[in-house]
Structure 1
Amino acid sequence: MIIRQYLEYSYNILKKNKILAYQLESVIILSFVLKKSKSWIYGFSETKINNKQLTTLQNFLKRRIKGEPIAYLLGFCEFWSLKIYVSPYVLIPRKETEILVEIVLKKINIDTKKILDLGTGSGAISLAIASKFNFINITATDISKKIINLAKYNAKKLHINNINFLISNWFSNLKNNKFDIIISNPPYISYFEYLFLKKQLKFEPTKSLVSHNNGLADLYKIILHSFKYLNNYGWLILEHGYKQGSILKKILKTNQFQNIMQYHDIQQHYRVICGQKILF
């Protein structure tokens, strides 16, 4: 089979199984397996694909039509123009989370020395920030060694050296450290919502997605303890579910945060909220 024939076959299979970006994904998978650029794929469409490559491609197609995200097939994705390696025990970084990064970058000033990233996963948020500000000391935490090891691997591949990766259940291993900015993209989906989203999220770790108390338990815990770990005039910046903005605003006010700001995602839903610690 030649490239042109395979692409036609792949398009039909993925389209039939309701993969929206079926053409793009076909080319991405083929490019990965053949170890060639997408432009090469189009330019040499009469090139023959060998049997070993066809077997690998067929396996990838089977996994994809079962719903496995393409990032898990390839082992990486792009976030903030960085190549981030992922695995099934971390969430795949989402495009909307880049909004969180944008807001953090705007809050950084000459006095910003230390940032805390709670629940770092693949390390994508910390790595994006560190790629812009290599003079800031970032502490990135997560609950397990295998997750932290993956984040460390990403930092090594990107030659980023200003992140301290730490195993910690939220604040449990931070002792008395204080930070200028605390950021997190914690689990915020309710169990009820997860029932409707399970089909599209079934390959990703549930514990990184779902939280008790209608999706608010982890967000509440972070807000409740962050004040203690922030320097004066420091910021807490959180990603959240699109229906949670109003209640989080109230929780932040109750916990002494000021200058509370909310930010929309591309669909005009509130997606990120931040509050500032100010003590006179």
Structure 2
Amino acid sequence: MSEMSVAEALGCAAELAELSDTPRLDIELLLCDVLGKSRSWLFTWPDAKLSADQQERFKQLLTRRMQGEPVAHLLGYRDFWTLRLRVSPDTLIPRPDTETLVELALQLLPDRPARVADLGTGTGAIALALASERPRWQLIATDLNAGAVALARSNAQACHLANVEVLAGSWCQPLSGYFDLIVSNPPYIDPNDPHLRQGDVRFEPLSALVAEDRGMADLCLIAEQARAFLRPGGWLLFEHGYDQGAAVRALLQSLGYVDVRTERDLGGNERVTQGLWRGGKGGIDAQ
């Protein structure tokens, strides 16, 4: 086996061109993991040679990536916000678009003590990102999947974030008391969507991706349940599909939410909708 240089390894990105939207980045991340080096090191030392063991490990990872396995699963982690989070097949892999939800949540509430719930937390990405920015907030994260609960708890511990509690249960079911903000990135893909048979999502749990009623079922359930746990003046904020903005706005307005608006993600798509709960019929007012 001839020695492979860093530059030659980076050239393997061409083999991923039809599979990945970010072939060069995929290769860089795999190579950094194999070498234990930073991306800047790769560019500084393009002529450096991989050892036989490193070359074999790199080729194994490349083969698995070419078979469609997500880079995050190959590495065992995904960077989100300012955090490095462990991932597993039990959960959705955190995506950059979801940082839009984190940004909006931070803008909605001032930096003061608050109770915030994250429904269907998965890796814990949203709750942990918010907790890292707002140490005076109390975060309650819920998930029905036992593997996700264990993973989110592990990530909270690894990130040294003590203001997050992870509870097992479906959506609002484990909650008690009232919240200033409820956030969620629930399943919102139509079960018949052809994209489910393409790319990384083939390796992620369908339960974290799809919802009945053309992807709207869980969004509807959360919007209905949240009214019983939001303080008057509390916000509901959730991520949804790029083509669901109008339907989600209509849903929230029909349930009595006001100041409803949708924000766009990094790609310019409608992605996160918020609504203010003023209390009254359909919910439970804080005493």
Q: If the TM-score is normalised by the length of the shorter chain, which range does it land in?
A: over 0.9
C-alpha distance 110-6 of structure 1, shift in aligned 2 (>3 A): closer
SS in 1 for 2:228: helix
Report what 1:116 is aligned to: 117
User: What is the CA deviation profile of residues 47-96 of structure 1, one whole-angstrom value per residue up to 9, with x for unaligned ones?
Assistant: 33222222211111111111111111111111112212111111111111
Which residue of structure 1 lines up, in the alignment, with residue 285 of structure 2?
none
- Report the secondary structure of 1:228's partner residue: coil
Q: Is the 8 A contact 1:2 1:46 kept in 2?
A: no
CA–CA distance in structure 1, aligned partners of residues 202 and 178 of structure 2: 37
Q: By how many angstroms is 1:115 displaced?
A: 0.2
Q: Structure 1, residues 119-150: CA drift from partner, whole Å, max 9, x if none?
A: 00011101111111001100001012221111
Between the aligned partners of 2:145 and 2:108, the Cα distance in structure 1 is: 29
In the alignment, structure 2 segments of 5+ residues that lack a partner are 281-287
Preserved contact between residue 118 and residue 140 of structure 1 (Cα < 8 Å): yes
Between Structure 1 and Structure 2, how many residues are aligned? 277
Counterpart contact for 2:190–2:210, Cα < 8 Å: yes
Q: How do 1:121-140 and structure 2 match up within 5 A? A: 121-140=122-141
Task: Tell me how far 1:163 sits from its aligned partner.
Answer: 0.3
Q: How far apart, CA to CA, are the structure 2 residues paired with 1:34 and 1:110?
A: 41
Q: Is the 8 A contact 2:90 2:145 kept in 1?
A: no
1:210-266 residue CA offsets vs partner (Å, 9 max, x unmatched)? 001110100000011110011110001011112212222222122111111211223
Tell me the equivalent position of 2:204.
204
Q: One-letter code of the match for 1:171? A: C
User: Given that residues 146 and 168 in structure 2 are in contact (C-alpha distance below 8 angstroms), is that contact kept between their aligned partners in structure 1?
Assistant: yes
Q: Which runs of 5+ in 1 are unaligned?
A: none
Change beyond 3 A, Cα 1:58–1:95 = same
Contact 2:10 2:28 in 1 (8 A): no
Q: Percent identity?
A: 35
Change (3 A) 1:131 1:197: same
Distance of 1:151 and 1:88 partners within structure 2: 13
Q: Which residue of 1 aligns with 2:261?
A: 261
Stretch of structure 1 that moved more, 25-34 or 98-107: 25-34
CA distance in 1, matches of 2:138, 2:166: 11
Maintained 8 Å contact 1:3/1:41: no
Determine if contact 2:112/2:137 at 8 Å carries over to the other structure: no
Deviates more, 1:52-61 or 1:120-129: 52-61
1:13 corresponds in structure 2 to 15
SS at match of 1:224: helix
1:239 equivalent in alignment to 2:239: yes
- Following the alignment from structure 1 to structure 2, what is the Cα–Cα distance between the partners of residues 276 and 158? 31
With normalisation by structure 1, the TM-score equals 0.92
Given that 1:2 and 1:45 are in contact with CA atoms closer than 8 Å, whether structure 2 keeps it comes out as: no
Distance 1:135-1:43 versus aligned 2 partners, 3 A rule:
same
- What residue is the counterpart of 1:51 in the other structure? 52
Taking the TM superposition and a 5 Å limit, the aligned residue runs for 1:121-160 are: 121-160=122-161
